[in-house]
Amino acid sequence: MDSKKGGKCVIFSAPSGAGKTTIVHRLLAMDLGLEFSVSACSRGPRPNEVDGKDYHFLGIEGFKQKIKEGAFVEWEEVYRDNFYGTLRSEIERIWSEGKAVIFDVDVVGGLNLKKQFQDNALAIFVQPPSYEELEKRLRFRSTETEEKINQRMEKANKELSFAKEFDYILINDDLEKAVEKAKELVVEFLKK
């Protein structure tokens, strides 16, 4: 796939708990010509997650096989044996439908995608209002162990330092305003 050709991509990245997934879902509900790129991962589904809708759940061995096949545009090992990536076939499918791809990926994945798609991509970093608020949001989810929360907070600390490498930093201190600003940025980018 030649990333110089094809359609456009909108990339939303953030530390876990910053609100990127909520913003992406809100944008998808609008008629903006966007379609979600379903990421692949090596972990199993959480309660209420559906294979092919939330993620392509490949398992560790399945994921490693796809790496060998060159099936990913980008991938990374986020934590030990915990892989996430973007399947080339997902992007090609969306572009073939004449839509722009919208990504909900972690910070390293977002930067990798921006590097790959360059001017065909708009990379937005969703920033929580504070580090404390981020921790509060992760705890409010009640889906993770204390160890996982600590891991995510440590990772968030590093990820926040990459914000300036994105095209735009969107501070999510008021969800409605953040969604409105995200919509404005996306509409403007897709017009180009």
Positive or negative torsion for Cα 23, 111, 138, 58: positive
> Does residue 149 belong to any structural domain of this protein?
yes
Q: Measure the CA–CA gap between 57 and 79, rounded to whole angstroms.
A: 16
> Does residue 58 belong to any structural domain of this protein?
yes
> Does residue 3 belong to any structural domain of this protein?
no
Tokens of 162: 């990459």
CATH number of the CATH domain containing 181: 3.40.50.300
CB 36 within 8 A of CB 90: no
Alpha helices in the chain (DSSP H): 20-28, 59-69, 88-96, 107-117, 131-141, 146-160, 175-191
Whole-prediction pTM:
0.83
CB 65 within 8 A of CB 50: no
Q: In this structure, what are the phi and psi dihedrals at residue 166, rounded to the nearest 5 degrees?
A: -90, 165
List, for residues 95-146, the tens digit of each pLDDT value: 999 999 999 888 988 999 999 999 999 999 999 888 788 888 778 777 778 8
Q: Name the residue range of residue 55's domain.
A: 9-191
pLDDT tens track, the chain, 192 positions: 434 346 999 999 998 878 899 999 999 999 999 999 999 999 999 899 999 998 999 999 999 999 999 999 999 898 789 999 999 999 999 999 999 999 988 898 899 999 999 999 999 999 988 878 888 877 877 777 888 888 888 888 889 899 999 999 999 999 999 999 999 999 999 998
Number of structural domains in the chain: 1
Q: Which residue has the tokens 């930093």?
A: 169
CB 44 within 8 A of CB 57: yes
> Does residue 2 belong to any structural domain of this protein?
no
> Does residue 4 belong to any structural domain of this protein?
no
> Does residue 170 belong to any structural domain of this protein?
yes
> Does residue 25 belong to any structural domain of this protein?
yes
Residue 178 in 3-state DSSP? helix
CB 86 within 8 A of CB 74: yes
**pLDDT in the model for residue 109:** 87
> Does residue 1 belong to any structural domain of this protein?
no
**pLDDT in the model for residue 3:** 40
**pLDDT in the model for residue 6:** 64
Residue 131 in 3-state DSSP? helix
